[in-house]
């Protein structure tokens, strides 16, 4: 599929906003959904809706087959060894919280260390802050290079034999930095720590092979990869998951319940308390089908070309500062001299262009960048060079509006 054909699959993009054609550049917050995903959800609710793993009736069997079929699609998508390692939870945030509370509380104690970086999303900071508070462990940060990348010598110097957990984002939602997870995982393992990866901004955009990365946990959200909201994945190595207690108890995850003692189902269901996110998982399965039909090489190529073009054109805008390294994923975070990013986003919105402004749930990173907020344009497979051109025109309008000489 070429870019223009891909774009046609997203009905929401075919509309005007404030009298201008919509230019959606906020996919890092949430992606749009292709017609195949929308129709899959529609079909499920119209034909198969039922609870799973329970009754023997036909709808229940259909829903169960589709739900577990989606698990196999996820397994294949991230190259996990088995479906037991794929747990459906609400999203990246819930997955990281589950790892912190279930694995963390059982394996981290006083004098131990948890290692993260200052570029993390709040969802990969606060669960570890809480765990550190609860256990008396020390939370340590790998320092960043000036361009917002991580140097492996700093990783070597920060992780020690006291480190029990290293948790790092695969791709930064602000800087676009692509972190060397495989190499960091090696250093974590050499020191006896587990490697947790926040894959929220990587899984939608690039090949993710959890076995090749040799990470112990990997978390991501469906809504950023053409799937519905409310569903995400916690991947974990079977050996670790087997020894972890569930984070949620009740419904669906039980094997036997007595008055005072109960036992849990096997993996992966012991982590899926309550009625599962059935439609969500089926929608995620359809999103994976869609992405695999395009192919991840092609996705990477489309986004690479877009971000290169955006960087080239945005760098030529006077008074515009871009944050993050040269080699980056498909997003550009920036500020315009003397204009608040919220004002930038407001003027762009008047031109039909959707960008995000604020701290992007990365306040420690904002502090490190010495800004209170930034604007961000993020790209996905349905964006085109014309979208970038529209952004540049919108930025010119913004500058004119705020009295910059262009």
What are the start-end ranges of the H helices in 88-243? 92-98, 105-107, 126-135, 152-158, 181-190, 210-213, 238-242
For the CB of residue 378, give the shortest distance to ligand 7TS in the complex, in Å.
8
Q: How many chain residues touch ligand 7TS (CB under 6 A)? A: 17
For the CB of residue 91, give the shortest distance to ligand 7TS in the complex, in Å.
3
Nearest to 128 by CA among 140, 110, 144: 140
For the CB of residue 280, give the shortest distance to ligand 7TS in the complex, in Å.
12
Q: From the candidates 314, 331, 361, 390, which is the catalytic residue?
A: 361
For the CB of residue 320, give the shortest distance to ligand 7TS in the complex, in Å.
20
One of 102, 173, 179, 333 touching ligand 7TS (CB under 6 A): 173
One of 22, 29, 371, 392 touching ligand 7TS (CB under 6 A): 29
Strand partners, 320: 336
Burial class for 349, CB neighbours closer than 10 Å (0-12, 13-18, 19+): middle
**124 or 398: whose CB is closer to ligand 7TS?**
124
Confirm if 26 and 331 have CB atoms less than 8 A apart. Answer: no
CA geometry: angle at 226 spanning 199 and 292, to 5°?
80
Identify whether 226 is a catalytic site residue. Answer: no
Nearest to 28 by CA among 146, 150, 175: 175
The helix (H) or strand (E) run that includes residue 254 is strand 254-257
Binding mask 204-243 for ligand 7TS (x = CB under 6 A): -----------------x----------------------
Is 31 a binding residue for ligand 7TS by CB under 6 A? The answer is no
List binders of ligand 7TS among 326-385 (CB under 6 A).
356, 360-361
Query: Phi and psi (nearest 5°) for 377?
Result: -110, 125
**319 or 325: whose CB is closer to ligand 7TS?**
325
What is the distance between the alpha carbons of residues 187 and 387, in angstroms, rounded to a whole number? 41
**66 or 93: whose CB is closer to ligand 7TS?**
93
CA geometry: angle at 26 spanning 22 and 31, to 5°?
95
What is the distance between the alpha carbons of residues 141 and 119, in angstroms, rounded to a whole number? 10
Is 168 a binding residue for ligand 7TS by CB under 6 A? The answer is no
For the CB of residue 61, give the shortest distance to ligand 7TS in the complex, in Å.
31
Is 123 a binding residue for ligand 7TS by CB under 6 A? The answer is yes
- Find the part of the chain contacting ligand 7TS (CB under 6 A) among 72-80, 88-96, 210-218, 387-395: 88-96
Query: Residues with Cβ < 8 Å from 394, sequence gap 6 or more?
Result: 23, 347, 348, 351, 353
For the CB of residue 223, give the shortest distance to ligand 7TS in the complex, in Å.
6
What are the start-end ranges of the H helices in 295-354? 296-315, 341-350
One of 108, 116, 169, 291 touching ligand 7TS (CB under 6 A): 169
3-class DSSP state of 236: strand
For the CB of residue 254, give the shortest distance to ligand 7TS in the complex, in Å.
26
One of 84, 112, 113, 198 touching ligand 7TS (CB under 6 A): 198
Is 121 a binding residue for ligand 7TS by CB under 6 A? The answer is yes
Residues with active-site annotation:
361
- Residues forming contacts to ligand 7TS in the complex (CB under 6 A) are 28-29, 91-93, 121, 123-124, 169, 173, 198, 200-201, 221, 356, 360-361
């Amino acid at each position: 599929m070429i870019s223009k054909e891909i774009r046609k699959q997203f009905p929401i993009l075919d509309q005007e906003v404030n009298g201008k054609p919509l230019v959606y550049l906020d996919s890092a917050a949430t992606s749009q959904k292709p017609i195949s995903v929308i129709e899959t959800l529609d079909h499920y609710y119209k034909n198969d809706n039922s609870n799973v793993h329970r009754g023997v009736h036909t709808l229940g069997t259909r829903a169960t087959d589709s739900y577990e079929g989606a698990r196999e699609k996820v397994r294949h998508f991230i190259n996990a060894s088995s479906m037991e390692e794929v747990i459906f939870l609400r999203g990246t945030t819930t997955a990281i919280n589950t790892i912190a509370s279930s694995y963390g509380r059982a394996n981290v104690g006083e004098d131990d260390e948890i290692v993260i970086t200052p570029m993390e999303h709040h969802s990969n900071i606060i669960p570890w802050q809480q765990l550190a508070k609860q256990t008396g462990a020390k939370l340590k940060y790998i320092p960043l290079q000036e361009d917002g990348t991580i140097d492996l010598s700093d990783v070597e110097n920060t992780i020690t034999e006291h480190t029990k957990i290293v948790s790092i984002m695969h791709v930064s939602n602000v800087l676009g930095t692509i972190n060397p997870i495989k190499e960091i995982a090696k250093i974590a393992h050499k020191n006896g720590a587990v490697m947790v990866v926040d894959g929220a901004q990587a899984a939608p955009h690039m090949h993710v092979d959890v076995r090749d990365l040799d990470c112990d946990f990997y978390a991501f959200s469906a809504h950023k990869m053409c799937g519905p909201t409310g569903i995400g994945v916690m991947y974990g190595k079977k050996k670790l998951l087997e020894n972890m207690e569930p984070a949620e108890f009740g419904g669906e995850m039980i094997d036997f319940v007595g008055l005072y003692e109960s036992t849990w189902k096997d993996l992966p269901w012991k982590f899926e308390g309550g009625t599962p996110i059935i439609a969500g998982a089926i929608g995620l399965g359809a999103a994976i089908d869609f992405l695999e039909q395009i192919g991840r090489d092609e996705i990477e190529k489309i986004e690479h070309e877009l971000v290169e073009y955006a960087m080239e054109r945005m760098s030529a805008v006077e008074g515009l500062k871009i944050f993050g390294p040269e080699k980056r994923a498909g997003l550009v975070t920036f500020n315009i001299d003397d204009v608040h990013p919220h004002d930038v986003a407001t003027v762009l919105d008047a031109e039909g262009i959707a960008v995000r402004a604020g701290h992007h749930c990365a306040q420690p990173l904002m502090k490190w960048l010495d800004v209170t907020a930034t604007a961000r344009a993020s790209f996905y497979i349905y964006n085109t060079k014309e979208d970038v051109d529209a952004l540049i025109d919108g930025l010119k309008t913004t500058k004119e509006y705020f009295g910059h000489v262009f």
